[in-house]
Structure formats: C-alpha cells, structure tokens
A and B are shown apart, each in its own frame.
Chain A
Amino acid sequence: MTQGGLRICVLIVVALFGAGPILAGLWQALRASFAVLPAIGATAPSLAPWRELAHLPGIATSLRLTLISGLGATALALLLVMAVCITRSGRDIAAHAPKRPRHARMGTRQDPKAQPATPQPSHPSAPSAGPRTAHLALAPVLAPFLAAPHAAMAIGLAFVIAPSGWIARAIALILGWSSPPAWITVHDPGGVALMLGLVIKEFPFLMLVTLSALNQIPLHRTLVTGRTLGYGTGTLWLKTVLPQIWPMLRVPVMIVLAYALSNVDMALILGPSNPPTLAVLLTRLFSDPDTTLLLPASAGAVVQALLVLATFGVLWATGRAMRAVGLVWLRLGGRGARPAWPGQMLRTATSVVMAGLLTLGTLSVLALLMWSLAWRWPFPGLLPQTWSLHAWQGAQGNWHAPLITTLVLALATTALSTLLAIAWLEGEDRARKRTPAWGEAMIYLPLLVPQISFLYGLNILFLRLGLSGGLAAVIWAQTLFVFPYVMIALAAPWRALDPRLARTAAALGAGPWRQLVAVKLPTLLRPLLIAAAVGGAVSVAQYLPTLFMGAGRMTTLTTEAVTLASGSDRRITAVTAALQAALPFAGFLAALLIPAVLHRDRRALRGGGGSPG
C-alpha cells in the first residue's frame, strides 16, 4: 500500500511551487542588488546599487518610518491582546471553563504515555477551532474584522479620520465649526494613521489566535490552582499563562511583524507619502519606467528582507530574555505586590481602547457604504443630504470588469488552495504521521518573507519564461498567500476529527478514497467552507502579487481601489472599496448558510458541537 505517496507528492508540489520560487525570487533580488540583472543588460557585479540606495532622498526617514510603524503597530496590538486577556480573564475567558476539543480527550482514552504518536496540541498551526470552546463573547465580534480586506479598511478609515470625516464632523457639531479643521491625519508624516490602521486590522487576528491558544492549555485549572496558592490574577498570567501560550503565538506574531513592516496597500492609502515607508518607496522604484532604478530597488528589497529577519531575531531574543528573567522572578515566589492588580483602572482603559478600535473599524466599513451612496454631503452633517446610486450606475463607476477578474481569481486560488490543503492533511492521515517541522515551515514561508523582497525577482524569472502578466501567473502568485491561510483554518478541525470515523468506515469495507469523500469531507463540510471563505478573503485582499505578477495589466477591485484612493472622487473609490469589502462577507455568509441548509436535519454537524454518533 502506498501509504506515504500522497504526502510525498504534496510536499514536492509545495516545495516546487511555493518555497522554491520564493527562494529563487530572493536570489534574483540579491543578485540585482549587486548589479547583476542580465534582463536590463547589467552583468558586472558592483556595489553601485547599494550606494544609489543609500543616496536616495529621504531613505533614512523611510527606514525610520517603516520600523516605527511596523514595530509600533505590532507591539501595540500585542500589548492590547495581553491587556484584554489579563483584565477579562475572570469573565469571558475563564468563566467558560475552557474545554479541550472533544476528540483530543477521546484520544487520550488509551494510555497517553504509551502513545507518543498522538499529536499534542502544541503546534502553532493547531489552534483549536472547536465549536464549543471558550471566549464565546469575543470571537464573533472579532471575526468580521479579519474578513475585511486591508485596503478597504484603510480607505474607510481614511474617510473617517480625514478632516472632513465623521470624527471631525462630530466635533464640529459640538463646537460649532462650519468648515473642516486643518488636520493632517491621513498620510501624516509620522505614520500615525498607518499605525492605527495596522492595529485595527492586526489586533483582531492576534486576539483570535491568542484565544484559541488559551483553549489548548488548562487555563481554568491553572488560574484556580494559582489563586489557591495566593497569587493575584495579573501575576498568574505573567508567570504561568503567558509562558504556556507564547510558543503558539510566536509564528502569528512573526506573520504580523512581517506584514506590518512591509505592506504596501495600507501604507499607500494611509501612510506618509513623501518620503513613504520603505515598501512603498520600493514599489515606486520597481514600477518606474527607468529600468536602471531596478538595481537600487533590488538592494532595497534585500534591506527589507533583512529588516524583517532582524526583527524576528529581536523577537526571539526578547522571548529568551523574558523567559530567563521570568524564571528568576517565578522562583522568588512573589505573589504580586498588589494582589488586586490588574485594578479597575487598567480594566476600564483596556475596554475603552478595544471598544474604540472596534468602533473605528466598524465606522470605516460603514463610511465606505455611506460614501458610495452619498450625493451631496456638506460639512458638518453626519449623514448625506441627498442620496444617489449614481456612483454605482455611472459610466465612471466602472467596476464590472475588476469585479469579474477579482471573482475569477478568488475562485481559482481558493479551489486550488483548498484542494492542496485537503491533499496535505489527507496525505498525513494516510502516512499516519505529521509532516516534520521543515515541511510546515514551507507553508508559512510566503507569510514570513516580505512580498516586495521576492515578488519582483520572481517576476523577472517569469518574464524570462514568458509567463508574466497572464492570469495563470497571478493565480499562482496569489495561491502562495491563500494556501497558508486555508491550511491554518482547516488543519485544526481536520486533526480534531474523531479518527474512529475513518477507522469505522475502513472496517465497513470503505477504501481510503471512499473514507475521504463519503465520510471525512461531508463531516468537515462546515470547516471546509469556512477555510475556503478565508481563502477567498485573502485572495480578494491581495495587492502586490496582482500588481507585479500581472505586470500592471490585471485590474482587480483591490488594485483599482488603491489607485482610486489617491485622489479620485470619493464616491467612486467608495463603490470599489465597498465591493471589495462585501465579497469576503458574502463568502463567509455562504460558508455559514450552506451547511445550515444542507445539514438542517443533522444535529451533530450544525456547528453546535457534539461528536458524531
């Protein structure tokens, strides 16, 4: 029986189409940074590109802005997550005593010591998505923020915080202003708006990841045991809970760091424009008609990769240092100087900040809708004076073609990624072993390497192969980023599936394919569709892969929205961005409704939890 065949095939596919091209793209960038780019006739190695990069006007400011906004946004989001956990632990989190996923418990019915093969839930990619888990209060509130594409959220936020936005209008109504204030909020030179936008998008991601990490540790027992030993809640979190969940948070935090330091679409819409962040600067250089600029741009791409790598190093070192210091602190046995910490102040402050962020995010999406339907909207009215569908109908509102392109790309990439994820997980089942760590690392590699660092190099390779600018190239480039998220969404429910279902089917005479198609996939319909919806949302949100691999000729809602955001009619921009935001929501809605209808008579599968049989 070729038990390991499928697994090996999938590994080869991922290596060949995923990790390999990324490394090749990085290699191209590295070569070009030393002036070797035969495509433009540069063949003599030199340090000139690096000198050019160093002499670019405003490069130092760009680097500083990148570091401040990227590190700042990640740190703020992470701090807020920790503050929410510590201050709300008594209520939303510990109150619903966290349950391990049912099947994890069943898996231990045999002697756990004698079963090293049972995967222990210690892997970053295994957040428990069990339906009946803790944190019921927070998760559904956060999930929609994950669905909204970065660009749409950024455009909406720009509408809200602009001098003519809702915030200024609200103040104007109170203070009696008659004209917009002279604020510089969007594109502010300090990058504050960009940081705010990043925190609004990344806080919900980190929070959800943390909540599912908390589900995999005996949180309730840890806290209760600690309290009986006389520890205060806050001290307990720092001494016992945080060290347990950190290994599961490390990769997600790295993903956020890489994104925050190197994103282009949010930085274009919200960030400072002159000088901009490094990634935006590089995008401009790469897109410049003057091809000699490709060389310093490549040097910049290398710098961008090193920057991210360096912050990973800092993250790792900080983790080690905190562990060392924490152990000393732990052994001292202090129960917390003030057992009441965290006090009411911190609790209130955390709630206010979180509510503020989520409100801003909600207002941003609402603002898109509002502007797309507004006709006359004079300052300082909170609502438009006259409404119109003009922006949706008008000849300028040319959103049909981008919508079709976006849909085609989303469907193709999601189908590919979901199939690949199923093949990966089924391959593991048949080989009866988990993929080693290096294999898993290949999945996450595209999320950890800055897109700008390898995409252009890759595009050069594609040009040489004559593949650039085509639909296939864009589908493939997007799939690089869609697949990891589909895997993240699908792996946990797949691995939590009761293994006895497939064994029962086998004992009834069903071969591997019938087990997969007739038992596993239908049982996993809901998580499968949710994973597909996640994939669709990621595809819709892609900017740089579409721009570079499409050679600028592929227009999606995202590329259109980002282009329009720099100075077009607000209404037209709003229409495009609103559509861009609506697609993922439609996807998630379908993912929830389809199983509800198909499985309306199947209690065990309706998402209310419970195990089959």
Chain B
Amino acid sequence: MSLDLTRLSLRFAAQPVLFAPLTLHVPRGTITTVTGPSGIGKSTLLDAIAGTLPGGVAMSGGITLNGQDITGQPAHRRRIGLLFQDAVLFGHLSVGDNLAFGLSPDIRGRAARRKAVTTALEQAGLGDMASRDPATLSGGQKARVALMRSLLADPQALLLDEPFSKLDAELRDEVRSFTFAHVRARGIPVLLVTHDHADAQAAQGPIVALGGRRP
C-alpha cells in the first residue's frame, strides 16, 4: 500500500520542465515532505497527483496508488484527498453538510450517515456546530472541518498543500498536531508540501527537495 511516482515531470506549454523527473515512493502511514524554492512547481505536482492539473500543463511519467495505475483517471475516481492553505469549505452548505458532501457513499442510510458526521465533528471538538454557517468559524475550526471532510471521503492517500501556512503561530502547532495525529491514524500515504521547517520536522518522515531543471 503506497503512493508511487515514476519519473514524473511537468511542464507548461513551451517551457522547460518544472523540476527534474521525480521518482518517489510514499509508503502508507508516513508523511513525506516535499520542499523546494517557490515556483519550482510543488503545487502543480500535487495537482498532477490529484488529477486537477490546469489546462496547458503537460505531464509525463506515471502515478500508481496501491499498485494501481491512476495516471489517466479523472480526479473524482482517484480517491486522493487534497487540502489547501485555506479550508475551502462550501459556503452554501452548513458545517454538517460540508462533511456529508464528502462522506463516502459506502456508508448507507440516513441515520448511519448522520452518525458518521456527528462522530467526526465530535472528534474535531466541534460537536455542536453541525448547523453552523462555515463562514462564522474561526481559522482553526475551519481547518479541522476541512480535514474531517477529507477523511470522511475515505481517501487512499492525502495531499497537503502548505495547509498550515495561513494560520497564526500558536494555532499552527495545534492544528498541525491535530492533523498529523488523524492522518497517521489512517495509515495512508501522505504527501506534504511546505516551506516551513517546523512542518517538515513534525512530519517525521522523509524529506524530498525538488531539484533543478535538468532535462
């Protein structure tokens, strides 16, 4: 069980490749950190893995998840979770419905689904907030809701795109340990993109620096 990249490289139309072809093995249960100077294409790398590459980006190489080649699959079939700097909660839905949106369709029945949402909210310390407007939550609360929403979809891998960089210093430690504790408990491969050394250290996993643009 792992996420594997094989000689993955990306380029915007008519431009040099963003980074040297990347081969990476992300075993389950570890948080692998990717660092590199800004502009090298860390976020684009995550887009490629998640299947949400913007138009005009050419990709070569392969992506496998748990032994299955997912290189050509559309994003919604990959079962790869994605977290951004912002929580990106759906503003038209309540906090509870945000969680229900992602909840895996394998959980059937209204009662069972409601229970799954409630349990997740309680784990995040937001037990009484199911009917709240997400716009009224604090930054830390939003981050926790976003993580729980991702995990409820039962992802087979998780990608974190500098998820703590917009939080205040004290909040950052708290959200980070909350996030890492939950994703470790899942035992899935996790790829973290960050600028912050503290993030990389706390991840306690291998650290990969994206290399220069050699052909």
Contacts and interface: CB of A to CB of B under 8 A. Distances in A.
A339 to B, nearest CB: 42
Contacts of B38: 111
A114 B210 CA distance: 16
Nearest to A112: B39
Given A498-B88, A603-B136, A611-B86, A116 B13 contact: yes
Interface stretch (B44-52, B179-187, B201-209): B44-52
A510 interface: yes
Contact of B133 (A506, A514, A518, A601): A601
B153 interface: yes
Interface of B is mostly: loop
A613 B163 CA distance: 13
23 contacts: A1-B74, A109-B85, A110-B43, A114-B18, A116-B13, A500-B86, A503-B50, A504-B82, A504-B88, A507-B153, A508-B101, A509-B102, A509-B104, A509-B153, A519-B90, A599-B92, A603-B91, A605-B91, A612-B89, A612-B90, A612-B91, A613-B86, A613-B134
B55 A432 contact: yes
Contact of B55 (A110, A433, A518): A433
B129 interface: no
A505 B74 contact: no
A401 B13 CA distance: 58
B54 interface: yes
Interface in B8-49: 12-13, 15, 18, 38-39, 41, 43-44, 47
B171 interface: no
Nearest to A106: B86
Interface size class of A (residues with CB under 8 A): 35 or more
Closest CB pairs A-B (n = 4): A432-B55, A111-B39, A604-B91, A612-B91
B126 to A, nearest CB: 15
Contact of A602 (B13, B81, B135, B155): B135
A511 interface: yes
B191 interface: no
Given A114-B39, A613-B86, A506 B75 contact: yes
Interface in B117-167: 133-136, 142, 146, 149-150, 153, 155
Nearest to B80: A507
Interface string A488-523: 000000000011110111111111101100110011
Contact of B12 (A117, A433, A515, A605): A117
Given A508-B149, A511-B74, A613-B134, A114 B52 contact: no
A603 B92 CA distance: 9
Contacts of B88: 498, 500-501, 504, 612-613
Contacts of B89: 612-613
B124 to A, nearest CB: 15
A117 B44 CA distance: 12
A508 B91 contact: no
Most A C-beta atoms less than 10 A away, residue of B53, B75, B153? B75
B136 A509 contact: no
Contacts of B12: 114-117
B49 to A, nearest CB: 10
Nearest to B10: A114
A612 to B, nearest CB: 4
A113 B91 contact: no
B13 A503 contact: no
B153 A503 contact: no
A515 B146 CA distance: 17
Interface string A576-613: 00000000000000000000000101111100001111
A507 B50 contact: yes
A423 interface: no
A376 to B, nearest CB: 54
A613 B142 contact: yes
Nearest to B98: A613
B56 A116 contact: yes
Given A117-B56, A613-B86, A506 B51 contact: yes
A498 B79 CA distance: 22
Contacts of A113: 39
A431 interface: yes
